[in-house]
């Protein structure tokens, strides 16, 4: 069932040439257009099924917040239409407009009524709201003495007191501590499993990849990419370095993103173990050497080489580069080839992984990106020698059991 | 379309009542004297005017006999002027004041003027209850005519909120409206026979009073409270018509520019 449908949404803010221009437009029926329109969103269409979670990414000013405000009905779109089925709950910015002089409980009542929960129902929900927020005695103290994290806890607890059909979450959650973030994501997951459609705005790649089935990249007010989180985030990541040249090739089911100005390129990626060179399947715990062969395409004053190992969802398991290890190359000449060998133990759990490689001038690919290559190599980790375990990381314990007297 | 808005407001009545109560609490939360302040402000005004006009300036106010007559006359006027100016001023600024809510949560915006009316009525009830008690004490309580105050109040409040919402919407787009109306209100107070009786004005000025809606409301209240007489309904009818006009204007403005309001906050 489609619960959210946006059709060709556009939003323009009016800019008047002078303060009097608006007055003239209001009073004089002939002067219809005394303003310029600044379009912050144009032609945005997408829809969401029940239980679907979409991550909204994009740079500051791409129109994410405006789009959320249109979906939640706070702002009217200038063109296009929004169709919603069912109740929508939103957590935008901080605090849900809490009043600083009222207690958490009073504000919870107020905010709950504002989002359309009847008073009687709210009274029944209040113990659960208090329990979930876990702010102790502060629940009955004025909100002005709250920390921003506490306000977020309260706001989240109220907004999600009842399972909505559509949940919209802005970056608000990032204010919370790790414990509460974990807890709130757990609740969001439960809602999603029960059929809530989720729209999540975050700059946190991990958050989006762990919960969303889909990601949408907004750029200059339009949908630049709409697809599986990994390829959209790879593409977004590539655009962040400010390079125009971004290629995405389809390789089987996965989309491989390459970006960079081409100052240097990785021309070979190999993982070798004692058993041989360039293996695709690696036993958990084996010592491996990841060899990256880099060809320098023009004279460079510095070259940093790095890699990241990612799981199936594209989440980083581990990543490092030669800047972080403190091994600068110094100037390198055009045509030179360098071999970077990274030796480590493959302490990963069973599953499919990929290697992303980067050659850059500085410590991140945002400072002079020569080349960034997602999915430069894929490999599998199998576990036949150790006992079965769950998770991505191999951290085998020694176990001792004692009977206590 | 407006019906839709109106039913949304009705659906939010719990929220409106809760907010009126909270607003009341908030006003007195950190004060020692609490609700007494609602009374002390108009009381100070009445004492000052009584002192200046009837004692120091020894103004002869025709048609007012008795030791308390002038004070009662003053109270009647200030009571109704007070509820009018409170509602219209609050409504005028309410959308700007609540910008933080309007920008974050989607809720029926017309709840805000409803809360303004509710709060105004609560304050009015407190002051008028006290005023009635005083009237009983000095033995000046009107008879059955006192019931006329209910429609007078209704019309005054209606006029106030209709005007207030019109100004409130305009104020979002043209902030001058708020400043300008503050000045207008000062003149309006003195152009209304509250402190002085209309009869001391020159005839031509008295004729112009017909165009002051508040003069009709205030004079109706004074007729009931001071003269114990039924008010002039024809004047009030005029105010009611003005309120209808302002209400239609408010609805038109809201439907036309309500959606743009959020972008200007």
Mean pLDDT of chain B: 85
Nearest to A378 by CA among A254, A292, A276, A295: A254
pLDDT of residue B228: 87
Nearest to A315 by CA among A279, A272, A267, A353: A353
Residue of A253 and B181 predicted with greater confidence = B181
pLDDT of residue A399: 92
Tens-digit pLDDT profile for residues B154-170: 999 999 999 999 999 99
Beta bridge partners of A309: A318, A355
The secondary structure of A178-238 as a DSSP string is HHHHHHHHHHHHHHHHTT-EEEEE-S-HHHHHHH-SEEEEEETTEEEEEE-HHHHHHHHHH
Share of chain B above pLDDT 70, in %: 93
pLDDT of residue A110: 85
Q: How many domains does chain B have?
A: 1
pTM for the model stands at: 0.73
Check CB contact under 8 Å for A72 and B107.
no
Task: Using DSSP, state whether A298 is helix, strand or coil.
Answer: coil
Q: Give the residue from chain B lying closest to A92, CA to CA.
A: B104
**Domain annotation for chain A: domains and CATH numbers:** 2-235 (3.40.50.300), 251-382 (2.70.50.60)
Q: How many CB pairs under 8 A join A and B?
A: 61
Q: Are A55 and A208 in contact (CB under 8 A)?
A: yes
Residues of A in contact with B174 (CB under 8 A): 22-23
pLDDT of residue A294: 92
- Output the CA torsion sign for B186, B189, B190, B191: positive
Tens-digit pLDDT profile for residues B9-57: 787 788 888 888 888 877 776 677 777 777 787 788 778 877 777 776 6
Please tell me the distance in Å from A147's CA to the nearest CA on chain B.
19
Among B14, B30, B174, whose Cβ lies nearest the Cβ of A119? B14
Paired sense of beta strands A246-251 and A316-321, if any: unpaired
Check CB contact under 8 Å for B103 and A74.
yes
pLDDT of residue B59: 63
pLDDT in tens, chain A (405 residues): 888 888 898 888 888 777 777 777 777 766 666 677 888 888 888 889 988 999 998 888 888 888 988 898 888 888 888 888 888 888 876 556 788 888 899 889 888 888 878 888 899 999 999 999 888 899 999 888 988 888 888 988 998 888 889 998 887 677 777 788 888 888 888 999 999 999 988 877 777 888 888 999 988 888 888 888 888 888 887 777 655 566 676 655 567 778 888 888 898 888 998 777 788 888 898 899 999 999 998 898 889 999 999 988 788 899 999 988 988 888 899 989 999 999 999 999 888 888 999 998 877 766 778 888 888 888 888 888 888 888 888 898 999 999 998
B4 in reach of chain A (CB within 8 A): no
Integer Cα distance of A395 and A389 in angstroms = 10
Q: Give the residue from chain B lying closest to A71, CA to CA.
A: B106
Contact residues, A window 76-115, toward B, CB-based 8 Å cutoff: 76, 90, 92-93, 95-97, 99, 101-102, 106, 109-111, 113-115
Contact residues, B window 165-184, toward A, CB-based 8 Å cutoff: 173-174
Among B30, B260, B262, whose Cβ lies nearest the Cβ of A74? B262
Check CB contact under 8 Å for A74 and B100.
no
Q: Are B246 and B159 in contact (CB under 8 A)?
A: yes
Share of chain B above pLDDT 90, in %: 34
Residues of A in contact with B15 (CB under 8 A): 110, 113-114
Nearest to A194 by CA among A169, A164, A224: A164
Among A13, A96, A116, whose Cβ lies nearest the Cβ of B104? A96
Residues of A in contact with B12 (CB under 8 A): 113
Contact residues, B window 75-104, toward A, CB-based 8 Å cutoff: 100-104
pLDDT of residue A245: 61
B1 in reach of chain A (CB within 8 A): no
Choose from B18, B104, B254 for mutation: most chain A CBs within 10 A: B104
Tens-digit pLDDT profile for residues B232-243: 888 899 999 999
Integer Cα distance of A4 and A6 in angstroms = 7
pLDDT of residue A94: 56
Tens-digit pLDDT profile for residues B113-140: 999 999 999 989 988 888 888 888 888 8
The range of the structural domain enclosing residue B12 comes to 2-264
């Amino acid at each position: 069932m489609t619960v959210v449908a946006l059709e060709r949404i556009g939003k323009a803010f009016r800019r008047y040439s002078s303060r009097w221009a608006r007055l003239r437009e209001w009073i004089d029926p002939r002067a219809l257009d005394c303003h310029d329109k600044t379009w912050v969103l144009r032609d945005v269409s997408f829809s969401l099924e029940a239980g679907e979670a979409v991550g909204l990414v994009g740079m500051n000013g791409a129109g994410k917040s405006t789009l959320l405000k249109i979906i939640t009905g706070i702002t009217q779109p200038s063109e296009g239409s929004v169709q919603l089925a069912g109740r929508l709950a939103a957590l935008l910015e901080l605090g849900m407009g809490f009043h600083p002089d009222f207690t958490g409980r009073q504000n919870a009542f107020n905010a709950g009524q504002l989002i359309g929960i009847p008073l009687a129902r709210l009274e029944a929900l209040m113990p659960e709201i208090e329990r979930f927020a876990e702010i102790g005695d502060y629940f009955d103290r004025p909100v002005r003495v709250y920390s921003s994290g506490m306000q977020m806890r309260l706001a989240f607890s109220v907004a999600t007191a009842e399972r909505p059909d559509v949940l919209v979450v802005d970056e608000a959650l990032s204010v919370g501590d790790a414990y509460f973030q974990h807890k709130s994501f757990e609740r969001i997951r439960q809602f999603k499993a029960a059929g809530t459609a989720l729209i999540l705005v975050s700059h946190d790649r991990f958050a989006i990849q762990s919960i969303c089935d889909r990601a949408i990249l907004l750029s200059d007010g339009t949908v630049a990419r709409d697809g599986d989180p990994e390829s959209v985030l790879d593409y977004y990541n590539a655009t962040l370095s400010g390079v125009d040249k971004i290629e995405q090739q389809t390789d089987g089911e996965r989309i491989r993103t390459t970006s960079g100005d081409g100052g240097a390129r990785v021309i070979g990626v190999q993982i070798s173990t004692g058993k041989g060179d360039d293996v695709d399947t690696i036993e958990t715990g084996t010592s491996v050497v990841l060899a990256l062969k880099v060809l320098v395409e023009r004279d460079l004053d510095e070259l940093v080489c790095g890699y990241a190992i990612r799981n199936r969802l594209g989440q980083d398991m581990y990543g490092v580069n030669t800047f972080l290890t403190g091994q600068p190359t110094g100037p390198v000449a055009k045509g030179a080839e360098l071999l970077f060998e990274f030796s480590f133990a493959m302490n990963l759990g069973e599953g499919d992984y990929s290697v992303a490689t980067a050659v850059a001038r500085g410590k991140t690919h945002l400072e002079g990106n020569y080349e960034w290559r997602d999915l430069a190599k894929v490999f599998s980790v199998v576990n036949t020698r150790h006992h079965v375990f769950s998770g991505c990381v191999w951290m085998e314990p020694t176990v001792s059991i004692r009977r206590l007297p | 379309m407006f019906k839709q808005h109106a039913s949304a407001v009705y659906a939010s009545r719990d929220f409106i009542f809760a907010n009126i109560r909270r607003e009341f609490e908030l006003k007195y939360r950190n004060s020692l004297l609490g609700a007494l302040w609602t009374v002390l402000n108009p009381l100070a005004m009445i004492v000052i005017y009584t002192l200046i006009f009837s004692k120091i300036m020894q103004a002869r106010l025709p048609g007012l006999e008795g030791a308390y007559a002038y004070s009662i006359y003053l109270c009647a006027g200030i009571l109704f002027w007070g509820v009018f100016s409170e509602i219209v001023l609050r409504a005028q600024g309410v959308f700007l004041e609540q910008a933080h809510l309007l920008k974050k949560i989607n809720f029926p915006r017309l709840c805000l003027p409803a809360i303004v009316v509710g709060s105004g009525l609560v304050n009015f009830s407190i002051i008028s209850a006290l005023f009635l008690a005083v009237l009983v004490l000095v033995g000046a309580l009107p008879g059955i005519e006192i019931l006329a105050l209910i429609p007078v109040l209704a019309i005054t409040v209606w006029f106030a909120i209709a005007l207030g919402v019109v100004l409130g919407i305009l104020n979002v787009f043209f902030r001058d409206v708020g400043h300008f109306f503050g000045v207008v209100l000062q003149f309006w107070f003195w152009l209304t026979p509250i402190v002085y009786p209309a009869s001391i004005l020159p005839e031509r000025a008295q004729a112009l009073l017909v165009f002051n809606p508040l003069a009709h409301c205030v004079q109706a209240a004074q007729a009931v409270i001071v003269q114990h007489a039924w008010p002039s309904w024809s004047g009030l009818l005029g105010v009611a018509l003005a309120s209808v006009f302002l209400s239609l204007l408010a609805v038109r403005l809201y439907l036309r520019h309500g959606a743009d309001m959020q972008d200007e906050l």
